[in-house]
Amino acid sequence: MDLVVVLVISLSCLLLLSLWRQRSGRGKLPPGPMPLPIIGNILQIDPKNISKSLTNLSKVYGPVFTLYLGMRPTVVLHGYEAVKEALIDHGEVFSGRGSFPVPDRVSKGLGKSHFN
């Protein structure tokens, strides 16, 4: 087979796999815009006016929605009521911290709480 054909088939398989993984992982997440494979919803967010982009998305999907920043899902709470409900009524669920691979790798895990 020609090298170009092999590369096209390989890239197509990777994109389909990425799309399938994103779809299968969305079962318990709030609704949100359909992410593109690998880059997620980055193109739907204006870097010069992030708050306006998030406000526009909240008008479509509600005050709690999911965005993919790259391949990582991120749940967005937009507005006072959504944040208050999450932190007051469901504080235990939201008390954990996400992982940040690059800073964790740089600090080699130092500076983390022993209670995590």
Q: What is the mean pLDDT of residues 21-49?
A: 82
pLDDT for 115 equals: 46
The string of pLDDT tens digits covering residues 65-88 is 999 988 888 889 999 999 998 888
Q: How confident is the model at residue 13 (pLDDT cuts 50, 70, 90)?
A: confident
Distance CA 48, CA 3 (A): 41
Residue 64 pLDDT > 80: yes
Give this prediction's pTM: 0.63
Domain boundaries along the sequence of the chain: 3-107
Let me know: does 98 contact 80? Beta carbons within 8 Å: no
